[in-house]
Structure 1
Amino acid sequence: MVTDRGLEVLRAIVQDYVASSEPVGSKSIVERHSFGVSAATIRGDMAQLEEAELIVAPHTSSGRIPTDKGYRVFVDRLQGMQPLSPAQRQAIARFLDEAADLDDVMARSVRLLSQLTNQVALAQYPSVAKARVRRVEVVQVAEARLLLVVILDSGRVEQRMVDAGQQIAAEAAQAIGRALDVAVAGKPTTDAEEALGTVVDAASPAVATATARLVVVLGDVLAPTAGDRLVIAGASHLVRGGADLSGSVTMVLEAIEEQVTLLRLFGEMDAEATAVATRIGREMADGLEQTSIVTGAYGAGGHEAGRVGVLGPTRMDYASNMAAVRAVARYLTRLLDDEER
């Protein structure tokens, strides 16, 4: 059984290994940390940690490095995240406040997070499945051509050109837009399908074709997985830290480019009822076992809208990365909520 001091030794090993990338020995622990015991005693603690599979010797007669399990214990026992400095918090506020629209907000969030952590930064666009419809409008752009505009409470705006299938007056197009808005405005997107069916049933024969086509397109816009994607910045950090990935950089870059695996991970992490969630090493998907991801949820309209996070080698500074992710997620929530009001 690992003692309390043994867990503190684990903390020291993680911190020193993250800082130096070199295996950590008992002598260096005694020199760098105030345990008040001999190196021989520390070696006994390290033997317990090794037996518990929390640390391992990468080479014969070398120091020790944390295992994935060791990192997990370290992260779960973090008493507090390393706070950001007032200057860092002010920089976050200034940089994000200058954003022009939602696309700019997301792009700025990942650039800032990558700069703060020196890791790959990821931001999930506000999920359609978690949003409510704020407004729907239909605008005539030609005799049989309509523009459908959908605004969600997350600030997300979707526009689609729709072939009406019939000639339709501007006033009739606006009337269909009002009917669609009445049906779904204020409702969760997950309730939209049933509500839209009533609009089709109530449409007059004169606009039935246009209404049906608009309903199909609107249903596609409000589908749970519609437009799910990530904004990414800082992939070059993976290349610079390639020594920690033992040749798996290409697989990690492919996962970043394809996004499907990472979006699935984000979805799985939604179920973890914590402000900041982590996946470490073997907890990750196939091909990403030498990496870790730290994510935090941000909200809009009073509910969770998506996640932001960082991806990097398992040898990362978890405390400061978790603090940066939490700070950006919180500010992103405040910014989107202010736009909602």
Structure 2
Amino acid sequence: MVSERGLQVLRAIVEDYVETREPVGSKTIVDRHAFGVSAATIRNDMAQLEDEELIVAPHTSSGRVPTDKGYRVFVDHLAELRPLSPAQRQAIASFLDGPGDDLDDVLVRTVRALTRLTGQVALVQYPSFARAAVSHVELVGLGGGRVVVILVTDTGRVSQRMAAFREDLTETDASRLRAQLASLVTGRGVREGAQRVADALAAEQARSAPDAIATALLRIVGEELEEFRQDRLVMAGAANLARREDDFRGSIYPLLEAIEEQVTLLRLMSEMVADEHGLSASIGRENAAFGLAEASLVTSDYAPGEYDAAGLARVGVLGPTRMDYPTNLAAVRAVARYLSRLLDDDELAR
């Protein structure tokens, strides 16, 4: 059982190691932190921490560094998160209040803001579309037989997909097809709309002389609605992994593959358990089942206010276990809160 002072010594070791990247010794702790005890007493505390496998000596006669278990205990005993500076909060606001009024643009700006704040890989899940409804369908002719099919949901998700035909649609045909598509999906949930489109497509294909243009448009709308239902991530800052490669004991390629594929990260994020503040952290070897034992992921829940628990998504940062957990947790929480408020804005959902 670690004493209260032992936990404070662990905190000092974690903070100093994160800052300096150098193993931390008892003399350094006495010099830098006001414990009011001798170096010998601190060494005894460190010996207890080592017995509990919370710290380890990377080399003979060196100082100590935190283990993955040590980082976990440190995070679990955080009394408070390091507050963001006014400049950091202003940076979040300036990024997220920029031009653009669709969800895709907002999430891109979110990860750019977060990777700039933390120096880590930033990632954000699209919010759940289980309760999203299609609010608008549009067909826009571009000439040369090209038509853009646009779908908008009441959560701000926008899809634009190009279709190409042998000749331009007449205004009469465009109006008819627009009305047909709108009758199938407008005002209906994504799941229900996808099913209605699938039924209409099957009926069209079963006709003796199916309408090729209607069939193509129905197929496009159905595919886009299915895409809306899939979990997706937006990420930024992957180059930060290369800059911090020395912080990884092994190869960074499993992380790069996870970023490329997304599925692994989505599974990991779905299994992380948040605390009462919506914050969660998965550290080092806790991620071994996902092939990410060299990395840590910290996240915060976000969602528009009208969403229930099923509609929550997560925003977070991914990096080495030697990361500034208090600052990173504070950053993802602040960004998540700002993003939730922004998604509550009716203008974004139009």
Taking structure 2 as the reference length, the TM-score comes to: 0.81
Q: Which runs of 5+ in 2 are unaligned?
A: none
Deviations, residues 41-93 of structure 1 (Å, cap 9, x unaligned): 33333233222222222222322211111111211222221111222212221
Instruction: State the match for 2:264 in structure 1.
Output: 261
Q: Give the 3 Å change call, closer, same or farther, for CA 184–64 of structure 1 in structure 2.
A: same
Residue of 302, 307, 332 corresponding to 2:306: 302
- Residue 92 of structure 1 corresponds to which residue in structure 2? 92
2:331 corresponds to 1:331: no
Quick check: 1:128–1:223 contact (8 Å CA) kept in 2?
no
Cα offsets for 1:135-189 (capped at 9, x unmatched): 2234566798754321123322112244789997544543443454354444442
Q: In the alignment, which of 239, 242, 249 is matched to residue 245 of structure 2?
A: 242
Distance, in Å, in 1 between the alignment partners of 2:179 and 2:338 is: 34
- Relative distance call for 1:119 and 1:271 in structure 2 (3 A) is closer
Partner of 1:340: 349
When residues 266 and 175 of structure 1 are mapped into structure 2, their CA distance, relative to the original with a 3 A threshold, is farther
Question: Counterpart of 2:155 in 1: which secondary structure?
Answer: coil
Cα deviation 1:280-331 (Å, max 9, x = unaligned): 1012254421211122233247334643322111000000011111222222
SS in 2 for 1:62: coil
Letter in 1 for 2:91: A
2: CA distance, partners of 1:225 / 1:158 = 9
Cα offset, 1:200, TM superposition? 6.2
Tell me how far apart the structure 1 counterparts of residues 237 and 54 of structure 2 sit (CA, whole Å).
30
Query: Which position in structure 1 is the counterpart of 2:26?
Result: 26
After superposition, the Cα gap between the structure-2 partners of 1:167 and 1:111, relative to the gap in structure 1 and judged at 3 Å, is closer
The structure-2 alpha-carbon separation of the partners of 1:36 and 1:301, relative to structure 1 and needing over 3 Å to count, comes to closer
Deviations 1:233-261 (A, max 9, x none): 33332222221113413333333233332
Paired residue total = 341
Q: Which residue of 1 aligns with 2:106?
A: 105
Compared CA separation, residues 140 and 87, structure 1 to 2 (3 A)? closer
| Residue 68 (structure 2) aligns with | 68
The verdict on how the C-alpha distance between 1:55 and 1:190 changes in structure 2, with shifts beyond 3 A counting, is farther
Q: 1:225 to 1:74 in 2, by over 3 A?
A: farther
Q: TM-score, normalised by structure 1?
A: 0.83
Give the one of 327, 331, 340 matched to 1:320: 327
Deviation of 1:10 (Å): 1.6
Structure 1 residues 3-53: Cα deviation after superposition (integer angstroms, max 9, x where no partner): 222222221211111111122222322332223333333333323322222
Supply the distance in 1 between the matched residues of 2:201 and 2:144 (Cα, whole angstroms).
21
Q: Is 121-130 or 287-296 further displaced after alignment? A: 121-130
- CA shift at 1:117, angstroms? 1.0
Query: Residues 112 and 143 of structure 1: is their aligned pair in 2 closer, same or farther, counting only changes over 3 Å?
Result: closer
Which residue is 1:192 aligned to?
A: 193
Structure 1 unaligned blocks of 5 or more: none
Partner of 2:41 in structure 1? Answer: 41
Q: Specify the alignment match of 2:284 in structure 1.
A: 281
Match of 2:294 among 290, 298, 314: 290
For the structure 1 residues 7 and 37, does the alpha-carbon distance in structure 2 shift closer, same or farther, using more than 3 Å as the test? same
Question: Any idea what the Cα deviations from partners look like across 1:90-111, whole Å, max 9, x if unmatched?
Answer: 2221222123244443333222
In terms of mean alpha carbon deviation, does 159-168 or 272-281 score higher? 159-168
- Alignment RMSD: 3.5
Q: Once structures 1 and 2 are overlaid, which stretch shifts more, 76-85 or 156-165?
A: 156-165
Tell me the secondary structure at the aligned position of residue 329 of structure 1: helix
2:187 and 2:35 map into 1 onto residues whose CA distance is 58
Matches within 5 A, 1:50-65: 50-65=50-65
Equivalent position amino acid for 1:307 in 2:
R
Cα distance in 1 for partners of 2:172, 2:133 equals 27
Q: Percent identity?
A: 55
Q: Does the 8 Å contact 1:293/1:312 carry over to 2? A: yes
Q: C-alpha distance in 2, partners of 1:60/1:92?
A: 44
Residue 120 of structure 1 and its aligned partner are, at CA, apart by: 2.0
| AA at the equivalent of 1:109 | T
Q: Does the CA contact (< 8 Å) of 1:200 and 1:208 recur in 2?
A: no
How far apart are the structure 2 equivalents of 1:123 and 1:43? 42
Distance 1:38 1:77, change over 3 A: same
